[in-house]
Chains A and B, each alone.
Chain A
Amino acid sequence: MPEIHVVRKDNSHLYEHYFDSYFRLRYDIYVKQRKWMALDRPDGREIDQFDTKEAVYLFAIDAGQLIGAMRAVPTLSPTLMSDIFPYLNLRGPIRRPDVYELSRVFVIPERRGEHVGPRVEMLLLTAIMEYGISIGLTAFSIVLESWWLPRFERIGWKAHPLGLPHQMDGMSVLAVLVDCDEATWKSLCGQLGMSGPTLTWRGLSDVNRRALPALSVLPPAAAQQTR
Chain B
Amino acid sequence: MQGIESYWGRRALDFVDAIEASATGASVMSQFEKVIRDLGFHAYIMAGIPEPGQTLAQVTVANGWPLEWFELYNRENLSAVDPVPRHCFNTLNPFEWKDAPYDRERDVAARNVMTRACDFRFHEGFCIPIHYDDATGAISMAGERPYLDAETKSALHLMSVFTHGRLRALTRSGPQGPSRRLSETEAEVLRWAARGKTAWETSRILGISERNVRWHLEEAQRKLMAPNKTATVARALVNREIMI
**Chain A residues at the B interface, C-beta cutoff of 8 Å:** 90-91, 113, 119, 145-147, 149-151, 153-154, 160-167, 170-172, 174, 220, 224, 227
Instruction: Other than A150-B161, A172-B94, give 4 A-B pairs with Cβ distance below 8 A.
Output: A149-B161, A150-B130, A167-B150, A171-B93
B18 to chain A, nearest CB (A): 13
A169 to B5, CA, bound (A): 20
Binds A, one of B9-17, B73-81, B97-105, B222-230: B9-17
- Total interface residues on B, using CB and 8 Å? 33
Docked-complex contact B92 and A172, CB < 8 angstroms: yes
Docked-complex contact B92 and A164, CB < 8 angstroms: no
**With known contacts A161-B162, A224-B205, A145–B133 Cβ distance under 8 A:** no
Residues in A with CB closer than 8 Å to B205 are 224, 227
Residues in A with CB closer than 8 Å to B165 are 149-150, 153
Q: Which residues 126-150 of B have a CB within 8 angstroms of A? A: 129-133, 137, 150
Closest residue to B150 on the A side, CB-wise?
Answer: A167
Closest residue to A156 on the B side, CB-wise?
Answer: B169
Docked-complex contact A164 and B195, CB < 8 angstroms: no
**Any chain A CB within 8 A of the CB of B96?**
no
A35 to chain B, nearest CB (A): 15
Q: Main secondary structure on chain A at its contact with chain B?
A: mixed
Docked-complex contact B131 and A165, CB < 8 angstroms: no
Docked-complex contact B155 and A164, CB < 8 angstroms: yes
**With known contacts A151-B133, A172-B92, A172-B93, A146–B161 Cβ distance under 8 A:** yes
Interface centre among A90, A153, A164, A220 (most CB of B within 10 A): A164
**With known contacts A90-B10, A161-B16, A164-B9, A147–B131 Cβ distance under 8 A:** yes
Docked-complex contact B158 and A165, CB < 8 angstroms: yes
Q: Which residues 152-199 of B have a CB within 8 angstroms of A? A: 154-155, 157-158, 161-162, 164-165, 168-169, 195
**Any chain A CB within 8 A of the CB of B151?**
yes
Docked-complex contact A145 and B92, CB < 8 angstroms: yes
**With known contacts A165-B158, A171-B92, A172-B92, A153–B168 Cβ distance under 8 A:** yes
Docked-complex contact B157 and A90, CB < 8 angstroms: no
Residues in B with CB closer than 8 Å to A165 are 154, 157-158
B134 to chain A, nearest CB (A): 10
A147 to B165, CA, bound (A): 12
**Any chain A CB within 8 A of the CB of B72?**
no
Docked-complex contact A220 and B158, CB < 8 angstroms: no
A91 is contacted by which of B13, B92, B195 (Cβ under 8 Å)? Answer: B13
What are 5 A-B contacts defined by CB distance under 8 Å? Answer: A91-B13, A161-B158, A164-B158, A172-B157, A227-B205
Docked-complex contact A161 and B154, CB < 8 angstroms: no
B145 to chain A, nearest CB (A): 22
A162 to chain B, nearest CB (A): 8
Q: Which residues 1-34 of B have a CB within 8 angstroms of A? A: 5-6, 8-10, 12-13, 16, 20
Closest residue to B204 on the A side, CB-wise?
Answer: A227
Closest residue to A145 on the B side, CB-wise?
Answer: B92
A90 is contacted by which of B6, B132, B162 (Cβ under 8 Å)? Answer: B6
Closest residue to B92 on the A side, CB-wise?
Answer: A147
A216 to B162, CA, bound (A): 30
Docked-complex contact B133 and A113, CB < 8 angstroms: yes
A60 to chain B, nearest CB (A): 18
Residues in A with CB closer than 8 Å to B20 are 160
Residues in A with CB closer than 8 Å to B93 are 146, 167, 170-172
Contact with A along B86-127 (1 / 0, CB 8 A): 000000111000000000000000000000000000000000
A163 to B5, CA, bound (A): 10
